[in-house]
Structure formats: C-alpha cells, structure tokens
Structure 1
Amino acid sequence: MSFGGPQWPQEPHQPDGGSGHVPYGGGPQNPPYGQDQAPYGQGQPPYGQNQASYGQGRPPYGQQQPASPFGARNDGTPDWGALAEASEARQRRKRWLVAGGGVLATAAVATVVAVAVVTTDGDAPDVRTGGTATTLPGGAELPTGGAGPQPSFSSVAPPPPPDPMDFISSAGKDRAPLSAESLFPGKKLTFGDRVYAKGATSSTTNCASAGKDGLGAVLQRHGCTRVIRATYTRDGVAVTVGVALFADRSQALGAKQDARGGVTPLAGGGVGDFCRATVCLRRSNALGRYAYFTQAGFTSGRKVTTSDTAVFKTSDDLARFTFNQIYARGRAQASAAATAPAGGQ
C-alpha cells in the first residue's frame, strides 16, 4: 500500500446494519436445563439405526473439504491484508525476473565479444615478437621491399597569380573594352551615405580640348591618346572627373607630375556651367597607365575656400571612386588570365 493512496475498505456494510458477525452470546438462547428436552433415550433412534455407517457421508480419504476462496474469511468478508501481501509478492517476483534477464543478456554479449576478440587475435600478428602480417584476405600479399615505383613530385613551383597592375600599366596588356559608360556606370553614384547624381559624360581623342589653363598641353606632350570625362553633383556642388590614357605607366606618371591647370568642366545633363571665372578645387593623380584629374566647385559660381569641406569631400569621393574603377579593370583581366587555358594568350 502506497502512502497517500486509497485506504483498504472496512468490512462491507450489511443491510441489517450489523457487521456480518453474530455477537457473542447472540442468536437463539438454549432452553434451561431440563426444559423442553426429550428424556434421555427418547426421541433418539436406537443405536445403529438411522445413523450413517462409518465412512459414509464423508469425502474419501485424501480429499479435503473445499477451502474458502483465497483472501476470503469464513464469514464471506475479503481478507484485504492478504490481498495486499499477495500483490506485493507478485511485484517482487517480476522485478527479480527482469533483473535476472538483464544480467543474463549482459553475460551473453560479453561472451560473444570475448569469443570475437580471441578469434581476431588468433589471426593478428604477434606485436611482442615483432611479427608482421604480409598476407591479405584472399591470398594477396603485401609488398615487403622498397624497390617498387615511388611517387614523384615536381620541384618547379607553380607560377604566381597575375598581378592586376601588370594589365593596367601597359596598353599592350590592357585590352579590355573601355568607354565612358563602363568607367562611370549608372545614373547616380552612392558612396557611403552620400548619393551623387550623374550629369554629362564625354570621350575624346583630342586630349588638348579636355584640359584648360595648360593641362591640355601637358597631356599632349606626354603622349595622351584619350580622355574620358563625367560630371556629378550633390547639394549645389559639382565635380568633373577626367581620365587620360597613355601607352604605359611612365607617361601617365610624367603627366601627373607636370600637371598644371585642370580638366575642362563638363556641363550638360542637368548641370550648368561651373568653375568658369571663379576659384575651384583642382587635383591630379595616376594609377598604372591612367592619369586622372578632378575639378570641383559650386554650381552657383561662388569661389571655393579652404573652409568649404563639402567641396573637398566631393572631390575626395570621386577621386576614390575613379581609382577603384581603374583597379577593377586590372583585377578583372588578371582573373580572366588566371582561369584561361594554357597557351590561350
């Protein structure tokens, strides 16, 4: 019986209100001695008559009277205590059977493993004696000597990957298509959190016309072959970027070092004239066989001072963007050369 569970019931309630037992001294009373009793010898059959003979009316020897059902008393009331003990005994027997089965299963598995280990060890080489297995299943034998062919490795290191600068430093290798739209794509430029609207673009082989105040002459002297320009605006500030192409890196670097004046501002595409008769910010740089120049100022015509950080920021953004675009050409051509079949160049 578990604690907290239902208690064993009491004896069943009888319809007459009793407990099912006759009280001590209850029931019909015996008449007083000598009353209503037949005299001795009267009312009784003579000896030997109307009496069952010995052995009659009794069960045969070895047979017993049927006992009361298990757990029931002679008065018909179940013996609840005996029922509980029998139930607990059955549960104990089940637990012992389960535990015994687990032990037997474990012993059987251990025996199988031990037999497998012994069988395997019987075919394994004896490590303690230095033995080696030279026979494989099926009769094949392992090679025991070192006279067979050995793998060989090339002592020549693979070539390094192509350098993007090699392609953009010489006109002979820089053969990818180039136009104003490929160099300055789209209708606007997003640089960080700043968005610039693109205006007019231009591409010309007349390098002198793309420079003012002496820059055109410098470009021609160093062998300029083409100038590509584009204009961008933001918050009243406009900037024109000019990219000049040369045969090699040395020519572009010479043009950058000798630069004076600036690139001619490019109006159009919603952008009016700027940097005509006022002070603007001019810068120059070079990368590979490209020299690039910027000229930035206010669309209102106001001159630029050192405190106008918006103009300096615009010039810096477009210069960085142009640098990235030129280097991207070299990286794309280097990647294509690296993946091209041998001898395809």
Structure 2
Amino acid sequence: MSFGQGGPSWGPGDSRTPDWAALAEASEARGRRRKWLLIGGGALATAAVAAIVATAVITTSGKGGTSGSDKNASELPAPEDLPPESAAPQPSFSSVAPPPPPDPKDFIADEKKDRAPVTVDAFFPGRRLTMGDRVYAKGATARTTDCAATTQGALGSILAAHGCDQVIRATYSRSGVAVTVGVAVFATEAQAGKAARQASGGLASLSGSGVPTFCRGGSVCRRTANSYGRYAYFTVGGFTSGKNVTTADKNVYAVGDDLTDFTFRQIRHRGEVQASAAAAPVT
C-alpha cells in the first residue's frame, strides 16, 4: 500500500509496518537534491555578479577618456611597434671628422704665423744646461740685428744675402771645452734652409762670463750648420786652451752635438706651444 509520492511505504504483505529502509533512502535522496539546488543557485548568482561587474568596467572604460590600467586594448601599441626587450641606449658618433691638429712646424716656418717673442731666454733659458748626465755652464749671451758681425769668413755675406733678421748666440762650457751656438732668424723656411746649405766660414765664438777666448787666431775648431723652420743654427766648438780639434777629440764632438740637439728642440718646442694654443677651444 502506498500513500503516493512522498508518503510512507509499507512493506510486503501490507502488514501496516513501515519499510524503514525505504523511508531512509527517500529522505537521503531529498537531501541530496536540496544540496545541489543550493550549489547551482550560488553558482548562478556568482556568474550574474561577475557579468554585472564586467559590464560596469566596460561601460566606465568607454566614457570620459582613459588612463592607467583603464585603457582600452585597442589603444595599446601593437607588438610590432614596441622596441625589442634588449633595446638600450646606443653610442652616437658624428659623421663629420674633426679637423687635424695644427702642425707645429707651420708656426715656425713663416714669420707671419710665428708670433712668439724672439729673445735670448726663449732659446737659451736658465744658467746651465743639463743633457742626460752632462751639465754645461752657461757663459756669455748676445743678440744683434747685425748678422754679419756674428760670423767669420763668408758666412756673414751668405746670411745677409738671404735676408737674415737677427742672430742670437750663447756659449756653454764643460771640462775645458766650449761651444758657441747661434740662431739666425729669417722670414721664411726657404731662406733659412738656403743659408744653412750654403754655409761657408762659420759662426764667431763668444767668450766672457768665465769662458776665455777660444776658436780664434787660426786654431782648428769644429763647426756645424743646420736649419729648422725659419731658423738656421750654427755651432763652433773647441778647446779653451787653444788646442786644435781633431776627429779623435770625441768630447768636443759630444758637446757640439748636445748643443745642436738642444737648439733644435727649443725651436721645435716653440712651434708646439703655438700650435697647442691655436688648437685650444675658445672660451
């Protein structure tokens, strides 16, 4: 016998005794149905809330401009427009090559560019000269525009013929050997070069300031002639005792070579200083 859907169920033989097992099973089934209904309803509610929030976000993004994380996806740069991840600042170099530095010799090749003072101290500074382990005492010095007066033999007329402007002389001595070096100044490099190549006779020695007369009265001395830029430079060297110089007298040659080398360096340094000043930026 049955009371219909949801009613009690009686057991076999209709003895009016409830079928307790069947009742328990039916109650459990109803509990499971209520549980699933509650779960399903919660899921639907959550989905509805998410849909409402999404709609609000989209609606807000579409109004009144964009900024920060509210930008529309359509306004973001395309992947191909973005720089590579490894992109970093790269060095940039001018395609225009800087001008070459001035040539120091240009500043001593012509009087128009060689504007540094022409003085004794400009070429022969200090009281002594040190070359390596050799120290030379500085003797008398002189500067004159009478170029021929500083020479012996034909050198005076040669200097005059090529337009010598002035001659600066200085004498150095060491261990009984004295050398006078003279710098003849010309307007151009070409004039100085011709005077040095055509040199005959020689420079007159300069005594005084502790150095006795030397290389005069017919004694044999060593003479040299060179040029650099608009300067021709000459030396005359020998023994202060008046002894003749021979090729075996290496000490005389050594002193003369030191003075020649020093004078060349002084002239070249003159050009380097002026070239450096010309290359310096204007402030």
Alignment TM-score, normalising by the size of structure 2: 0.67
The one-letter amino acid paired with 1:337 is A
Choose which of 251, 261, 264 in structure 2 pairs with 1:320.
261
Over 3 Å counting, the alpha-carbon distance change for 1:299 and 1:156 in structure 2 is same
Deviation, structure 1 residue 177? 1.3
Measure, in 1, the Cα distance between the counterparts of 2:70 and 2:129.
Answer: 73
- Range with bigger deviation, 156-165 or 326-335: 156-165
Amino acid at match of 1:210: T
Partner in structure 2 of residue 170 of structure 1 = 110
Query: Residues 180-329 of structure 1: matches in 2 within 5 Å?
Result: 180-277=120-217, 278-329=219-270
Judged with a 3 Å threshold, the aligned counterparts in structure 2 of structure 1 residues 184 and 138 are, in CA distance, closer, same or farther, namely: farther
Aligned-partner Cα distance in 2 for 1:236–1:137: 96
CA distance in 2, matches of 1:216, 1:334: 32
Q: Tell me the alpha carbon deviations over residues 42-87 of structure 1, each in whole angstroms, 9 at most, x when there is no partner.
A: xxxxxxxxxxxxxxxxxxxxxxxxxxxxxxxxxxxxxxxxxxxxxx
Q: Which has the higher contact order (CA 8 A, sep 6+)?
A: 2
| Code of the aligned partner of 1:262 | G
Superposed CA deviations along residues 73-111 of structure 1, whole A, max 9, x for unmatched, are: xxxxxxxxxxxxxxxxxxxxxxxxxxxxxxxxxxxxxxx
Q: 1:262 to 1:137 in 2, by over 3 A?
A: farther
Letter in 2 for 1:229: R
* Cα distance in structure 2, aligned partners of 1:153 and 1:179: 45
2: CA distance, partners of 1:249 / 1:307: 35
1:8 corresponds in structure 2 to: none
- Residue 233 of structure 2 aligns to a residue whose secondary structure is strand
**1:160 partner amino acid:** P
| Structure 2 letter corresponding to 1:310 | N
Distance of 2:93 and 2:138 partners within structure 1: 56
Once the 2 structures are TM-superposed, how far is the Cα of residue 152 of structure 1 from its aligned partner? 8.8
Find the residue that maps to 1:200 and give its secondary structure. Answer: strand
Partner in structure 1 of residue 54 of structure 2: none
Aligned-pair Cα RMSD in Å: 2.6
Assess, with a 3 A threshold, how the Cα gap between structure 1 residues 154 and 298 changes in structure 2: closer, same or farther.
same
- Partner SS, residue 276 of structure 1: coil
Q: Which amino acid aligns with 1:207?
A: C
3-state SS of 1:170 partner: coil
Amino acid at match of 1:189: L
User: Counterpart of 2:173 in 1: which secondary structure?
Assistant: strand
> Which residue in the other structure is 1:91 paired with?
none
Deviation at 1:182, TM superposition (A): 2.0
Taking the TM superposition and a 5 Å limit, the aligned residue runs for 1:76-155 are: 144=81, 154-155=94-95
Letter in structure 1 aligned against 2:274: Q
Please give the alpha-carbon distance, in whole angstroms, between the structure 1 residues aligned to 2:281 and 2:275.
10
State the secondary structure of the residue aligned to 1:297. strand
Give identity over the alignment, percent. Answer: 57
The letter of the residue matching 1:336 is A
What is the distance in 1 between the residues matched to 2:154 and 2:147?
12
Deviation at 1:229, TM superposition (A): 0.2
Tell me which structure has the larger Cα radius of gyration: 1
Mapped to 1, the partners of 2:113 and 2:208 lie a distance apart of 34
Q: Distance in 2 between matches of 1:307 and 1:175?
A: 43
Question: How many residues matched?
Answer: 204
Name the aligned partner's letter for residue 253 of structure 1. G
